[in-house]
């Protein structure tokens, strides 16, 4: 049997401690990391306002849906169908003031306290024909900021059952698609789909249901959150 002798120095050579790198991050690596984080945060900040605005719109439309039910309940309580039924058939009337097309009404609770202070509403009612005032078309508009103010007026040619409105230039400044327009006598609001400035045509999202006419006065607004329509009958 051969016995080998190892000196302590030999053992130390065989067993070497693990070698760790003492090098840290270089300035270039740190700079790259900061750049990447900057790009990520810039993207997040760009998306963040869009998300907030989308959430805000969803909340507004949800509130408008609930508030329209309150408005409809009030119309039934004050018997607006009966009131309109005593007036000229085929003519539009507004609530809360039949003589003021621009007047709105803030939402109130049973005690008369203003609730949802940032919202108001207006209803337009009209019998479906000129001979029977017992069946009423009702439109409820929910306004933001308690302000149904019109930011522009003009004149245009309206054609019954047509979505195309030929307007006289110039249009109200800042008027764009997805805002609302109404012919003053008809009083019902219509949402604008597109505006063709080459042909001076406003295209509505639905057909105009009022009486045809040329050079009719119209008004516009950008304060409407949503519109709800229904039929009411006198019993």
**Is residue 147's pLDDT more than 70?**
no
| Range 100-106 contact pairs with CB under 8 angstroms and sequence separation of 24 or more | 101/184, 101/187, 102/148, 102/149, 102/150, 104/143, 104/146, 104/147, 104/148, 106/146
CATH code of the domain in which 93 resides: 2.40.30.180
Q: Name the nearest CA neighbour of 218 among 188, 193, 181.
A: 181
Kindly state whether residue 103 falls inside one of the protein's structural domains.
Answer: yes
The pLDDT, as a whole number, for residue 11 is 46
The pLDDT, as a whole number, for residue 163 is 98
Kindly state whether residue 7 falls inside one of the protein's structural domains.
Answer: no
Kindly state whether residue 166 falls inside one of the protein's structural domains.
Answer: yes
Kindly state whether residue 30 falls inside one of the protein's structural domains.
Answer: no
Kindly state whether residue 219 falls inside one of the protein's structural domains.
Answer: yes
The pLDDT, as a whole number, for residue 230 is 92
**Is residue 91's pLDDT more than 60?**
yes
| Residue-wise pLDDT tens digits, 21-77 | 455 556 666 666 666 766 666 666 555 555 555 666 677 777 888 888 889 999 988
| Residue-wise pLDDT tens digits, 197-232 | 999 999 999 999 999 999 999 999 988 999 999 998
Kindly state whether residue 31 falls inside one of the protein's structural domains.
Answer: no
The pLDDT, as a whole number, for residue 30 is 64
Number of domains in the chain: 1
Where residue 20 falls among pLDDT bands split at 50, 70, 90? very low
Instruction: Name the pTM for this structure.
Output: 0.72
Domain enclosing residue 148, as ranges: 55-233
């Amino acid at each position: 049997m051969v016995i080998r002798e190892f000196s302590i120095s030999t053992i130390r050579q065989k067993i070497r401690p693990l070698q760790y790198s003492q090098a840290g991050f270089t300035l270039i690596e740190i700079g790259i990391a900061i750049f990447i984080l900057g790009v990520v945060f810039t993207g997040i900040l760009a998306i963040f306002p869009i998300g907030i605005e989308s959430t805000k719109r969803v909340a507004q439309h949800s509130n408008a849906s609930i508030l329209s039910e309150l408005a409809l309940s009030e119309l039934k309580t004050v018997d607006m169908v009966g009131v309109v039924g005593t007036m000229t058939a085929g003519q539009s009337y507004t609530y809360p003031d039949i003589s003021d097309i621009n007047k709105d009404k803030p939402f109130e609770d049973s005690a008369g306290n203003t609730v949802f202070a940032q919202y108001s509403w207006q209803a337009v009612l009209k019998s479906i024909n000129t001979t029977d005032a017992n069946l009423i078309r009702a439109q409820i508009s929910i306004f933001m900021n308690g302000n149904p103010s019109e930011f522009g007026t003009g004149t245009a040619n309206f054609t019954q059952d047509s979505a195309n409105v030929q307007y006289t230039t110039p249009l109200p400044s800042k008027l764009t698609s997805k805002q609302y327009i109404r012919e003053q006598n008809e009083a019902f609001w219509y949402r604008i789909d597109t505006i063709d400035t080459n042909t001076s045509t406003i295209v509505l999202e639905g057909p105009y249901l009022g009486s045809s006419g040329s050079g009719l006065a119209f008004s516009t607004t950008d304060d409407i959150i949503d519109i709800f329509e229904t039929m009411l009958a006198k019993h």
